Amino acid sequence: MRVLEGEKVTKYFGGLAAVSNVDFHVDKGEIFGLIGPNGAGKTTLFNLISAALPLKSGVIKFRGERISGLKPHQICRLGVARTFQAVKIFPNMPVIQNVLLGSMFGTPTAMSSADATRQATELVEFVGLSAVSATSVKDLTLLNQKRVEVARALATKPELLLLDELMAGLNPTEVAQSMELVTTIQGRGITIFMIEHVMKAIMNVCGRIMVLHHGEKIADGTPQEIATSKKVIEVYLGE
Ligand SMILES: Nc1ncnc2c1ncn2[C@@H]1O[C@H](COP(=O)(O)OP(=O)(O)O)[C@@H](O)[C@H]1O
Ligand SMILES: [Mg+2]
């Protein structure tokens, strides 16, 4: 089943086609990867899916229903959560409260505050932050701040999770831990669409990958197909 589908998705910034006529789909349960050089349009595509930006043309469907035109909070409550390339958390609030925001404002149906607290506590533990649950997120490492964002996104009970460069800026050990986290989230039945620069991560965890270049889709396929695609190799060697 297709969880997410895009048809001829297009976005201009002035005269620049940041995303141009991109067709894609994400199947239920998979980890779908999105790669491409800096400025390829990857984050813009996530902004279009989550309605942080309006489409110029094309259609985006979630579970077969058109979501283009909805507001970001509506899309979140339908079951699409995201993280940000540059983490967007509330720096002076403790970990648990950042996560609680997801439980209290992003879920499809309202939760009692006791249930929200229980769920947020469980998610803080799930991402490995129980020991710093009461710490202000500004005092955490980048890895842990990213984990707060993941926990907050999960707190909205998503069916689809969009991860924008979760591994950027992390050391190899942290990358390995993050890869494990991503596969564990998939194990919970959540479909994942991830943008990633760390090739090892994308090649190891994704079932399928799409490549954007100057806003256009230049390839999609299995990691093996992408790694051996002449077009993709040219783009990366020419970078
Ligand atoms: N809000 C914006 N206003 C104007 N131009 C933008 C905006 N966001 C992104 N861009 C431009 O669109 C292109 C794609 O950016 P982006 O989607 O962030 O690329 P990526 O995430 O693949 O590195 C870039 O040329 C970028 O400068
Ligand atoms: Mg980006």
- The CATH number of the domain holding residue 197 is 3.40.50.300
pLDDT tens-digit map of 70-90: 999 999 999 999 999 888 999
Same domain, 153 and 163: no
Same domain, 23 and 120: no
Per-residue pLDDT, 109: 83
- Atom 7 (ligand 1) nearest CA: 13
Please say if the pLDDT value at position 221 is more than 80. yes
Please say if the pLDDT value at position 237 is more than 90. no
- The SS3 assignment for 237 reads helix
Per-residue pLDDT, 11: 98
- Atom 8 (ligand 1) nearest CA: 44
Number of the ligand 1 atom closest to the C-alpha atom of 36: 22
DSSP-derived secondary structure for 78-124: HTEEE--SS----TTSBHHHHHHHHHHHSSSS---HHHHHHHHHHHH
Please say if the pLDDT value at position 180 is more than 80. yes
- Determine contact, residues 18/41, Cβ cutoff 8 Å: yes
pLDDT tens-digit map of 134-177: 999 999 999 999 999 999 999 999 999 999 999 998 999 999 99
Strand 2-13: give its sheet, edge to edge: 16-27, 2-13, 57-62, 65-66
Please say if the pLDDT value at position 238 is more than 80. no
Number of the ligand 1 atom closest to the C-alpha atom of 45: 17
Entry pTM: 0.94
Per-residue pLDDT, 239: 58
Tokens 């993050």 found at: 178
Instruction: Give which of 193, 235, 192 is closest to 40, Cα–Cα.
Output: 235
* 12, 35, 44, 53: residue to mutate for ligand 1 pocket, most atoms within 8 A of CB: 44
Same domain, 66 and 165: yes
- Count of domains in the chain? 2
Bridge partners of 194, per DSSP, are 33, 163
Mean pLDDT, residues 222-234:
93
Across all residues in the chain, what is the average pLDDT? Answer: 94
How far is residue 137's CA from residue 128's CA, in Å, rounded to a whole number? 14
Tokens 């926990």 found at: 151
Same domain, 66 and 173: yes
Instruction: Domain of residue 101: give its range.
Output: 88-157
Higher pLDDT, 109 or 21: 21
Please say if the pLDDT value at position 103 is more than 90. no
Bridge partners of 9, per DSSP, are 22
